[in-house]
């Protein structure tokens, strides 16, 4: 009965999405007035409620391990811990798509409930576009990916979730990414609504900006969490491999970063109107491209759920309809949109535009490197595109972007002179040059890591320069958000460059009781013993690791064997210090009785994820700052209205007394 309730809620939500789309477009054509117009907001809210009911029913089915449901039988097991039973609800194709459409519908309902800054006609057009996008995904779920499908005969036991996904990091990584993706669908709907009504104004950008900022924060958290999961779970010691599925999450983040800065310029200075609309379309396009890559069956990956080409074709059709339609609308309406206020090259707007172009170039590089192997494979030519392409080609655009990012926040709006900030530029240049000399000559670092290290140190100093000469307690939260986010970029870049420049690896065959070394660490393999978990067995190595002869720490890497479904996995063990991480993996036993042990010493590698979290914290501070500023503006406007009402009432009473 639970599955039938969920399925019915899904159908009703799809019907309301169709009603929301039709009512919205009819209301726009009618000038935003009439009975149809009054349907749009309530319909969007109710659609979000029904989609939530459908997803709640799916969670219930997984929590109770209802093996009469095909999706539960294929992705769960009665012996799994509860957290992984629930994670199984979105650790598969159908469930992840239901989570996607649920978050999208909730976002549309929230917009309808709270957003009052835009003209009602533009709001109706935005909700109509959101209904159209939601309807496409509802059709995808209902017609080709029904999560509530019953089995003719209940399964005796479930197959179990992919063991690599049975990790607490992967329980939270997909939902954060989906919230980010769906936030970009909201930006897309705002852009379409503004184009339809020709209302590309600062008010439009102010309304869209919090949604873009929220999506960007969740994308940042999701990518950071996913990177750390791949680092410690997959056992290959890397934090980023330029895998197509990794790139599928990076591309929307790059587009969202550019969109966020462009929307801020439009909201604050009424400039970059066309560019902001275009980025709104591009950002959601990258989300759709990522969805196609992961769920089309053309990739083989732990992330890639669908293997049915028909599903990939369906998503490709949706991508063509949504993005092709939006681009056609943009082409038809772009000439009716004024670009807005002009600005000089030497200005904060100029710096933001330059870095937006650099971000767009990096996005194009990642997109080309991701799709090119797939295109050549269609002609039976296998090509591998990896770090030798992405790292140096991306650096061509990343290096000037970081240089401008250091000085851009110091410039004034509209027009400025570089000689006004000559002392700050000189300090930044001195720090970068000193770092280049130190790491290049004293420590003999390769060119790309050297540039990364020097720029990271310079950016770390430059990120706090906008606070110079200001009373810190009066600095707006949005400014603090910018400072923290830029500092987070510097910290993450320092971690990436350090990991690349200074990592040491040792693959050794060690007897029980034997020792080996890696970097400053001395490693002793005490013993290897069998252990058992709730749905797995493993061999666990007991390792003592001593840093420079200090007090030893215990490490317990495992080689696990899951039985539902059958699969072997590697569980790494980490010893974290302030200056880096020791990373240990245990392998097979050799015929002579020695055990394969793989070790890495990775100086400052944890700064990668600490920097990512700082970037997200900066986004949260900026979002809070925008919310507080908006509430303050509304409070001031309300007081002005109340004061005028009081003055008018007083004037009327005076007039009445005079006439009496």
CA distance linking residue 223 with residue 243, whole number of Å: 13
C-beta separation of 489 from 216 below 8 A: no
- pLDDT tens-digit profile of 30-76? 877 778 888 999 999 999 999 999 999 999 999 998 999 999 998 88
> Which residues are CB-contacts of 379 (< 8 A; sequence separation ≥ 6)?
none
CA distance linking residue 461 with residue 472, whole number of Å: 17
Q: pLDDT at residue 161 above 80?
A: no
Strand partners, 571: 558
Q: pLDDT at residue 340 above 80?
A: no
DSSP letter for each residue of 502-522? H-EEEEEEE-TT-EEEETTEE
- H helices within 234-308, ranges in order? 244-269, 273-295
Strand partners, 301: none
Residue among 477, 341, 475, 357 nearest 413 (CA): 341
Q: pLDDT at residue 223 above 90?
A: yes
> Which residues are CB-contacts of 246 (< 8 A; sequence separation ≥ 6)?
226, 227, 230, 240
- Mean pLDDT of the 517-542 span: 91
DSSP class of 598:
E
- pLDDT tens-digit profile of 440-461? 887 888 899 999 999 999 999 9
Tokens representing residue 125 in the block: 């057009």
Look up the pTM and report it.
Answer: 0.92
C-beta separation of 188 from 129 below 8 A: yes
pLDDT for 296 equals 63
With bands split at pLDDT 50, 70 and 90, how would you rate the model's confidence at 305?
very low
Percent of the chain clearing pLDDT 70 (strictly above):
96
User: Which one of 157-161, 226-230, 287-291, 348-352 scores highest in mean pLDDT?
Assistant: 348-352
Percent of the chain clearing pLDDT 90 (strictly above):
58
> Which residues are CB-contacts of 473 (< 8 A; sequence separation ≥ 6)?
none
With bands split at pLDDT 50, 70 and 90, how would you rate the model's confidence at 304?
very low
CA distance linking residue 540 with residue 198, whole number of Å: 64
């Amino acid at each position: 009965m639970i599955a039938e309730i969920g399925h019915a809620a899904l159908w009703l939500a799809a019907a309301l999405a169709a009603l929301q789309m039709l009512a919205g477009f009819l209301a726009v054509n009618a000038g935003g007035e009439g009975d149809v117009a009054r349907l749009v907001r309530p319909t969007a809210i109710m659609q979000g409620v029904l989609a939530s009911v459908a997803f709640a029913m799916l969670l219930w089915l997984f929590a109770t391990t209802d093996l009469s449901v095909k999706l539960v039988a294929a992705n769960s097991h009665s012996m799994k811990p509860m957290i992984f039973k629930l994670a199984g609800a979105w650790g598969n194709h159908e469930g992840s798509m239901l989570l996607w459409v649920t978050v999208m519908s909730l976002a549309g309902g929230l917009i309808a409930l709270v957003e009052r800054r835009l003209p009602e006609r533009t709001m109706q057009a935005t909700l109509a576009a959101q209904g159209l996008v939601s309807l496409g995904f509802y059709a995808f779920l209902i017609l080709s990916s029904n999560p509530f499908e019953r089995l003719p005969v209940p399964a005796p036991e479930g197959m179990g979730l992919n063991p690599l996904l049975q990790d607490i990091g992967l329980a939270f990584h997909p939902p954060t990414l989906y919230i980010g993706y769906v936030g970009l669908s909201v930006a897309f709907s705002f852009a379409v609504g503004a184009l339809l009504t020709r209302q590309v104004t600062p008010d439009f950008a102010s309304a869209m900006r919090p949604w873009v900022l929220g999506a960007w924060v969740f994308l940042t958290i999701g990518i950071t969490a996913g990177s750390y999961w791949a680092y410690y779970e997959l056992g290959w010691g890397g934090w980023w491999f330029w895998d197509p599925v990794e790139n599928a999450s990076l591309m929307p983040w790059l587009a969202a970063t550019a969109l966020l800065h462009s929307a801020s310029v439009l909201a604050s200075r009424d400039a970059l109107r066309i560019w902001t609309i275009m980025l709104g379309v591009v950002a959601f396009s990258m989300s759709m491209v990522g969805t196609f890559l992961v769920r089309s069956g053309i990739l083989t990956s732990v992330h890639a759920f669908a293997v049915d080409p028909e599903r990939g074709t369906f998503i490709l059709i949706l991508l063509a309809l949504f993005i092709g339609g939006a681009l056609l609308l943009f082409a038809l309406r772009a000439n009716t949109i004024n670009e807005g206020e002009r600005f000089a090259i030497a200005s904060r707007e100029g710096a933001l535009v330059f870095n937006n172009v650099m971000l767009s170039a990096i996005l194009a590089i990642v997109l080309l490197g991701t799709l090119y192997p797939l295109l050549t494979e269609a002609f039976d030519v296998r090509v591998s595109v990896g770090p030798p392409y992405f790292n140096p080609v991306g650096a061509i655009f990343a290096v000037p972007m970081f240089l401008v990012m250091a000085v851009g926040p110091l410039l004034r709006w509209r027009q400025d002179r570089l000689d006004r900030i000559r002392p700050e530029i000189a300090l930044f240049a001195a720090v970068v040059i000193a770092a280049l000399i130190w790491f290049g000559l004293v420590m003999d670092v390769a060119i790309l890591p050297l540039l990364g290290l020097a720029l990271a140190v310079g950016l770390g100093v430059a990120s706090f320069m906008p606070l110079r000469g200001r009373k810190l307690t009066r600095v707006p939260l949005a400014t603090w958000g910018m400072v923290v986010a830029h500092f987070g970029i510097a910290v993450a870049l320092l971690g990436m460059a350090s990991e690349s420049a200074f990592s040491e690896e040792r693959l050794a065959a060690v007897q029980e009781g034997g020792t080996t070394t890696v970097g400053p660490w001395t490693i002793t393999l005490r013993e290897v013993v069998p252990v058992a978990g709730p749905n797995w067995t493993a061999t666990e190595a007991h390792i003592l690791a001593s840093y420079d002869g200090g007090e030893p720490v215990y490490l317990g890497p495992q080689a696990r064997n899951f039985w539902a479904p059958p699969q072997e996995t590697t569980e790494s063990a980490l010893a974290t210090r302030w200056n880096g991480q020791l990373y240990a993996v245990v392998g097979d036993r050799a015929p002579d009785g020695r055990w394969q042990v793989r070790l890495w010493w990775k100086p400052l590698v944890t700064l990668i994820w600490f920097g990512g979290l700082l970037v997200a914290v900066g986004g949260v501070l900026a979002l809070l700052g925008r919310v507080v500023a908006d509430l303050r503006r509304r409070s001031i406007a309300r007081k002005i209205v109340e004061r005028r009402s009081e003055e008018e009432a007083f004037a009327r009473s005076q007039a009445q007394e005079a006439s009496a």
